[in-house]
Amino acid sequence: MSSDRVSLYGFINAKLRAKIGLMRQSKVIENLLHASSLVEAVGVIRDSKYHAVADAYDRTGDLQQMELVLLGMEISMYKEVARYLEGSSADLINHLLGKIEIDNLKNTLRLWYSSIMRQRPIRHRSEYLFKDTILSPIDWTALINATSWEVVGASLKDSPYHDTVAAFTEQDLQQSGLFPLETELDRMWYVHLMECVKTLKKADEDVATSMLLLEIDLRNLMMLVRYGWYHHMDAEAVKRLLLPWGKVASSQESEAYLRQNASERDPHSIINRYYPGLEDQQHSGSAHGDEASVLETLKIEGYLAERRKAIYQRMLAQDPFTIGLSLSYFFLFKEETSMVKAILNGKYYGYEEAYIRGVLV
């Protein structure tokens, strides 16, 4: 490894480990959980790194404006780390930030669809879109105010999403809704992600590949559970949702699972094939029918999230002179901001600490 590379990652290592250390020392999550009301919870974050969220509450008293600030903080975090890096490593970080841009695009398209194709008022909801530049030169205001699908496409002409969006027609949306388009946008992002990883130095490529294949396997498992079991999709429709990388998509177990009648598929068997221990999780004995299926799906998602978290935690102890630490930092930062958002929502709706804590676990 070159001395320049050692110096670069040494600097990043020191910066990010200091930030991770502060996250671990912070009592903000516990203090938020103990807060007796939303107002008290806002007081907790007023003297923390989330003070801008408290400022948004002071200005607006609006929970969704607070969530918008949290999103802005996440975007800033990616941009900050990208500035530490250079070359293909910085390109990868920016591509990861692109997932937030795609999610923002999907949210905007959902509102446009609701307004133009379903004739529903969206003015109050459009105020909560992130409208500043994330990566691409997209005029979010022009996009949400587009009067036709052609104008939507034109507003994305200078973005990498134009061709994918333009491949769909207004008739396609009327027949199938936005789900096929959203799936294609996600697939496009993953294709470019895997291409981006191949441009990294060997050590970074190995670490990034292992972590991203983990993400893809977890995503594919959730597709098998959510759409193959809960929504009873036929096998070919589910296969089209799977990303073509990792162990899960091409495994004989997945094939066997999908060959079963949709009503007979067992989500536990496919999860335990890759991550044994799901059956040790507590079952809800009192729920029935659809409610039980929802709870079971949430339990599986929670279990996979815990497995993911454990792997990212282990990555902190690996070679510090790779991009792995940056990827772990992103995960930990996003996990903390997601918890802050969930707790603030819980306090807003008046849930008890024990209930909120149970949802977070």
pLDDT tens, per residue, the chain with 361 residues? 455 666 767 778 788 888 888 887 888 999 999 999 999 999 999 989 999 999 999 999 999 999 999 999 999 999 999 998 889 999 999 999 999 999 999 999 999 999 999 888 887 788 889 999 999 999 999 999 999 999 999 999 999 999 999 999 999 999 999 999 999 999 999 999 999 999 999 989 998 998 899 889 989 998 999 999 989 999 999 999 999 999 999 999 999 999 999 889 988 888 888 888 776 654 444 444 566 677 777 777 777 778 777 777 777 776 667 888 888 888 889 989 999 999 999 999 999 999 898 777 6
| Three-state DSSP class for residue 152 | helix
- pTM for the full model? 0.88
What token pair was written down for 250?
């091409």
The CB-side HSE value for 274 (13 A sphere, CA atoms) comes to 25
Q: Quickly list DSSP for 98-123.
A: HHHHHHHHHHHHHHHIIIIIS----H
Burial 208-236 (b: 16+ CB within 10 A, else e): beebbbbbbbbbbbbbbbbbbbbeebebe
Q: How far apart are CA 311 and CA 307, in angstroms?
A: 6
31 alpha carbon, distance to own chain's centre: 25
Q: How far apart are CA 73 and CA 137, in angstroms?
A: 20
Extents of the domains making up the chain: 1-85+338-361, 87-178, 201-322
State the helix-helix crossing angle for 63-84 and 3-25, rounded to 10 degrees.
160
Rounded to 5°, the CA angle 90-93-94 comes to 90
